[in-house]
Structure 1
């Protein structure tokens, strides 16, 4: 993007040098003028031939060298542009012409990774240019990038490989996004090499052998005659937010998937979209924060990263991500990791290796830290875009522009020192009716047991019953599955120790009826104690809500132990634990008449008491519906 903007500036600026030409050769001037007519129409081959002929007529025709260099630069033939600029610089008269050459020589050297000459030319330019603040600002960035690149030559041990030709089937493919389970890769496909060629969203599904399948159109509801671009997919793969570009600009749209069908997209409205360019979304794994790129008023630079939070009333008015992330230049391609603590993004305004580099920034105590350059060879003097990282944080995907109008998708294995310490863990499965065995749509909500707050909320698919939720590493969680007319389901997960393997958990919900029972997996007691631990409060409040909403239901709170200890001791301990639960419920205005208690000791084990794990399963609190009275 930076290069395209600068090409435009150079093409406009070069016309100034066409006034008062240095040559007196009429034929050379005629060829120069004719070449300019071809140049402005984008017919570069004809323009190059005519300019070379003009130089043959007068080898000291300085403006012809400059004009020729701008064309090479537009074609991204930076070495040819550099050589041509050097010849013109030798012929150029003192300021202001020489400063134009210094500026352009700094740029084309940076884009070739020639940092020493870039620094030299940028420094010389800054010594004499004081008025053109835009060029001064860019030259300072180039100078900083050259200094950074010269001081940071060590390469990380990345393993970078292109995806197979069965995936990279389009002239250009970019902006990948992946579901949290790593099974679906969605990306933007451009069907031609020109910027205005049609773009669609396509999806590749991982095969049993681990290879990606051939991409297919995501949906006829999503891909239209307009250009559908950069997208983000929810962790469970059923909520898509994507970019739609038309003649008047780009906006963000959303679509939801039920079964195998995507809904008709809806514009996300004025809290997200502006009258300017809005694109490149990234949705957090909990679905509550949306990051995207906008050039709206109120930013810190050209393109800035903004974010919006999901409230009970919908998406909040977008807020600028602030100076920890945004610079006076351009920040694009945000990707918020599933741990919701790390943001990856691309910038051309931070210290780096030239052009757009990929950075990572971590959040602590609700504030962003300092951006970290992801280093070589991921970053180099070329532009990098659209980097995403897997849930475990050990690998990712990004697109690389290999030549003009040609890009491919790459898989990258991260070096250990750059692997996130806050990985995400995927729990997935189905939710079904225990009686009919049919899939049902239920709410699945995740709570941090220590912080006692909701972390994420999703719904199972009404057609397939499938769900997927991400549990950030480093905490203990309660997972609740709810649907009106059913007993809620309670699960416990301990991810305090960091990385875990993905878990499949198929859940059946019991319709409300007599003898329906559930295990309260998130009620905790210390060994040989019956006082409720603080992290039990979430589960107990769920029981309170259930009984308050169902006053006609009478339940039995049952305590169970393993076979350690005597039978008499176990009976007493289990009864006391049941009493503790009942006492809490009564303290929350649940009528005593709705509750009965019983301690079963070790008489009703779920599994044989043969291992520590099995004994843990047998130490539990259950509640069972023993009667449903008439209202």
Structure 2
């Protein structure tokens, strides 16, 4: 698409540079006016003549390079940017270093392009294009994973010697834009690329073979003598969104600099014909809005724009469709997707995947096509270059795909095409996308003994309770799992004889990172040995008695029910209740009181059905203190409390 509707976003800032040569003012002024109105072809002729006559300047090389760069003739732009870089290395601006790096990729001079990107980062560190390059120094190797995934075919019977691009399927027809003809007796020629303006065309798709039939005009009442491109249709086929120059009701409008911007229009089919297009309310005369794409449910509209708030020369934005002509405020998709470069031609597949083109990321050259990998909650995880042969050293854009049939179309201006832009068809053999995984390792142990539990299983569980992955531990209780990056998940350990345990974690963000999660399981069945204290094994709360009394309080009864349950399920268990006091008070009185309390405790359990031969009570008063808080000692209340205790000692089992 030498007319490059996709390039318009990048140009406005370029056209206010002073430009003069001795004795050439008239010619240069003429060239500048054409350049500033995007008439690059005419401007090139004048600049080239000046260059051929031996004139040199930083501005001349900049504008010659730009005139080719923004028409996607990267081989020629590399020639003039090379002169600019070699003649004026001290004053060259970062943006021209970036354009030079991009142009070199068209010549497949990737090593030299990488050197220019290093220089770009040195001059403009913090720019997302520089940081993405620094983060992915081996980007060519990473891109190559999908080299054999696609087979592409130039639709030579459908393409013309002009621009053909922006395919979309509608009612079993391929709808696209072309500058092959204006449909009028007079051809209106765009001085930017010396081609006619764009109109919509259609070609029927053979259901059995997939071949395209005869090309005809589409929606002729939509086409004007200016540009129309990149249509998107609602699921019912009755509404179309598309891009057009700022031209409505026979009137063209320009911004303050005289540039005719791009806008999105909407047309509704009535009685079999497309109605008068209406522009969307978030259009503006001072910036471009273009390349609409509807979500599968028709509730969101994605588009490209350089409106205020953009990260770079053009960004991907989205609005919610609220009503017939009601839309939410446009929302920028943010720096994970957008760069300081050009992001455009968004496309949302039926599976909800976002594809788009960008020149701001490490790629093969020009605009490359990318797909967004998302997390389960819909957040962006990372962006993937589709690789060869979908992408090339030139511009590749306007990608659409049927992911259920693994076929689709895209646009490109690569070499050996029919015209300046061609539509290619592709088929796809699915291969798994690279998955970002981390390693979670650890051990599962008994909480009481800290010994490994070799019969345990460990699982990854999402926050909805769904088990994602399960593994068994080895003889040392060790496990290893591989959940996805940057996910909030549960690591859960289970074993039939233990209570399950789990830990909530957020996995690392980088592929291959690791983290350790150890889990301790509490036994469901506690092994009982002679001499054990059931109070400790059952973690009983203290058995309290009212002051100077030995009757069983309700709170004590709750704890005694736990002892009762153990004795009921273990009919051979014989225990002795031992009651202890602290050292305060009369020694003989403490011994008597503790004995009454122990016997009262035993009698309570006997009253609940346990045979009297299996439980007895005995008081020890202050004879078995567990610390140095004897008579007349200076101990705290907390220290004395440790001595006031009830024990349930296993006599036999």
TM-score (norm 1): 0.53
Aligned partner (choices 391, 398, 410) of residue 386 of structure 1:
398
SS in structure 2 opposite 1:377?
A: coil
Contact kept, 8 Å, 2:62 with 2:81, in 1: the verdict is no
Q: CA distance change for structure 1 residues 420 and 228 in 2, over 3 Å: closer, same or farther?
A: farther
Corresponding residue of 2:150: 158
| Separation in 1, partners of 2:346, 2:270 | 27
The reply on whether 1:173 has 2:164 as its aligned counterpart is yes
Match of 2:197 in 1: 198
Query: Using the alignment, how far apart are the partners of 2:420 and 2:141 within structure 1?
Result: 29
The answer as to 2:291 corresponding to 1:300 is: no
CA distance in 2, matches of 1:296, 1:99: 23
Q: Secondary structure at the match of 1:51?
A: helix
Q: What residue in structure 1 maps to residue 277 of structure 2?
A: 265
Q: What is the aligned counterpart of 1:415 among 425, 429, 446? A: 429
Tell me which residue corresponds to 1:521. none
Q: Secondary structure at the match of 2:54?
A: helix
Distance change >3 Å, CA 201–CA 377, structure 1 → 2: same
When residues 308 and 140 of structure 1 are mapped into structure 2, their CA distance, relative to the original with a 3 A threshold, is: closer
CA deviation digits over 1:496-547, x for unaligned, max 9? xxxxxxxxxxxxxxxxxxxxxxxxxxxxxxxxxxxxxxxxxxxxxxxxxxxx
Give the distance between the partners of 1:414 and 1:359, measured in 2 at CA.
Answer: 15
Cα 1:138–1:73 change in 2 (3 A) is farther
Match of 2:257 in 1: none
2: CA distance between counterparts of 1:290 and 1:68?
A: 36
Q: Quote the residue 1:367 is aligned against.
A: 379
Larger radius of gyration: 2
Q: Say whether 1:250 aligns with 2:262.
A: yes
Alignment partner of 1:349: what SS?
coil
- Quick check: 1:398–1:410 contact (8 Å CA) kept in 2? yes
The alpha-carbon deviation at position 117 of structure 1 amounts to: 0.6
1:189 aligns with 2:178: yes
Query: Is the CA contact (8 Å cut-off) linking 1:393 and 1:420 kept in structure 2?
Result: no
Q: Distance in 2 between matches of 1:419 and 1:141?
A: 20
The correspondence of residues 26-45 of structure 1 with structure 2, limited to 5 A, is 36=28, 39-40=31-32, 41=34, 42-45=42-45
Q: Aligned in 2, Cα 1:298/1:51: closer, same or farther, shift over 3 Å?
A: closer
2:343 equivalent among 322, 327, 331: 331
Query: Does the CA-based 8 Å contact 1:146-1:354 persist in structure 2?
Result: no
2:51 aligns with 51
TM-score, normalised by the number of residues in structure 2 = 0.51
**Partner of residue 112, structure 1:** 107
Q: 1:224 to 1:71 in 2, by over 3 A?
A: closer
Partners in 1 of 2:150 and 2:428 — Cα distance? 5
SS in 2 for 1:369: strand
1:199 shift after superposition: 2.3
Secondary structure (helix, strand or coil) at the match of 2:431 reads: helix
Deviation of 1:388 after TM superposition, in Å, equals: 0.4
Mean CA deviation greater in 342-351 or 258-267: 258-267
Q: How do 1:444-593 and structure 2 match up within 5 A? A: none
Distance change (3 Å), C-alpha of 1:122 and 1:292: closer
Q: Which moved more, 1:197-206 or 1:1-10?
A: 1-10
- 1:231 is displaced (CA, Å) by 0.9
Structure 2 unaligned blocks of 5 or more: 35-41, 182-188, 254-260, 436-463, 465-653
Q: Secondary structure at the match of 1:417?
A: coil
Deviation (angstroms), 1:243: 2.1
Distance 1:303 1:97 in 2: 23
1:72-83 correspondence to structure 2 within 5 Å: 73-74=68-69, 78-79=74-75, 82=78
Q: d(CA) in 1 for partners of 2:110 and 2:265?
A: 42
Deviation of the 1:347 alpha carbon: 2.0
**Is the Cα contact below 8 Å between 1:232 and 1:283 reproduced in 2?**
yes
Question: Following the alignment from structure 1 to structure 2, what is the Cα–Cα distance between the partners of residues 14 and 122?
Answer: 27
8 Å Cα contact 2:65/2:76 also seen in 1 = no
Distance 1:140 1:254, change over 3 A: same
Match of 1:321 in 2: 333
Q: Supply the distance in 1 between the matched residues of 2:270 and 2:218 (Cα, whole angstroms).
A: 14
- 2:413 partner SS: strand
Deviation at 1:348, TM superposition (A): 2.4
Distance 2:96 2:310 in 1: 31
Flag structure 1 segments of 5+ consecutive residues without an equivalent: 19-28, 56-60, 422-450, 452-631
In structure 2, relative to structure 1, the CA distance for the partners of 1:381 and 1:68 (3 Å cut) is same
Give the Å deviation of 1:148. Answer: 1.7
